[in-house]
A = this chain, B = another copy of it.
Amino acid sequence: MRRPVRRRHPLRDRLHEIIFESDTPAGKAFDVALIALILLSVMAVMLESVESVRMRWGTALRAAEWIFTVLFTVEYGLRLYCVDRPLRYARSFFGMVDLLAVLPTYLSVLLPGAQYLLVIRLLRVLRVFRVLKLVAYLNEASLLMQALRASRRKITVFVFTVLTLVVILGSLMYLIEGPAHGFTSIPRSVYWAIVTLTTVGYGDIAPKTTLGQALAAIIMVIGYGIIAVPTGIVTVELSRVERRVSGQACPGCGAEGHDPDAKFCKYCGSAL
C-alpha cells in the first residue's frame, strides 16, 4: 500500500505517514478524525437546505461550514506539501475531489447566490472512499470490481435487452392507454415501463384499461423474473474471482484452488 517515495525531511516523512498511511496509531487517529469531519460537514450541508433549520441555526451552520473549509484547506495544503510530486497528486481523481471540497465555500464569497456551488460540497462524501482506500477494505472492493469487470459483457447484453424491452413495451402502452390515462408521450410511457419493470411502482402513472393492465402484469412478471439474470452473473463471477485469488498452485501436482489457509495440497498431500 506504501508508495515508494524518496524521503528527505523527517517532518515531511512523519506527516506523510500520518496523512497517507494508517498503520501507525497517529495515522489511524487521523483517518478516524477525518471520516468524522467529512460526515459532519456533509450533514451540515444537508441540514442547511432544510428551510426551518436554516431559519433557526443558519448562522451557526455557516460558521461550522467555514471551520470545516479551513480544516480541509489545511489538510489539502499538508497533502500537497508531503507528497513527492504535488502536481500529480493535484491532478489525480482524489486530488480533484479534495480541491472541490473546499473551493465552493471560497467562491460563494464572490458569487453569493450560487446554490449549485453549495451542492458541489456534497462531493465531500467521496472523500470517505479515499480514507477507506488506504485500509484493508481496498482488497474487498477490488474483488468486487474484478467480478463486475469480468461480467461486464454479459451485463451489457442484459442492459441492452432491458432497454429494448422498455422501449417496445413502453410504446405499446402509449398506443393502448393513450394520453387520456396519463401516457402522454412515448418517453413518458418508457419512463413508466422502467418504473414498472424495476418493480419500483410509484403509482403516479398506472394503466386503467383492461388490456393495459394485462400488458402491465406481463411487464411486472418479466421484471420480477429477470432480476435473476444479473444476480446469477455476478454470483458466478464473484465465486470464480474468490477461488482464483485464494488459490496458489501445488508444487507437487500443479492443482489449483486451495483454500487460503491450506498448508498441504488437498489432492496429492505435498507441502504448499
Contacts and interface: CB of A to CB of B under 8 A. Distances in A.
Interface stretch (A74-82, A85-93, A194-202): A194-202
Interface stretch (A10-18, A20-28, A101-109, A253-261): A253-261
A227 B196 CA distance: 16
A160 interface: yes
Contact residues of A: prevailing secondary structure: helix
Contact of A233 (B163, B216, B228, B230): B228
Contacts of A8: none
A158 interface: yes
A227 to B, nearest CB: 7
A30 interface: no
Nearest to A229: B234
A138 to B, nearest CB: 9
A249 interface: no
Contacts of A214: 191
Interface in A38-68: 42, 45-47, 49-51
Interface in A161-209: 162-164, 167-168, 171-172, 174-175, 184-188, 190-191, 194-204, 206
10 contacts: A115-B175, A119-B174, A129-B160, A144-B154, A162-B221, A191-B214, A195-B216, A200-B201, A232-B238, A269-B271
Interface of A: 42, 45-47, 49-51, 115-116, 119, 122-123, 125-126, 128-129, 132, 136-137, 140-141, 143-144, 147-148, 153-160, 162-164, 167-168, 171-172, 174-175, 184-188, 190-191, 194-204, 206, 210, 213-214, 216-217, 220-221, 223-225, 227-240, 242, 255-271
Ranked nearest first, the 10 interchain pairs of A and B with the lowest CB-CB distance are A264-B269, A200-B201, A262-B266, A202-B203, A198-B224, A232-B235, A49-B186, A232-B234, A50-B185, A203-B203
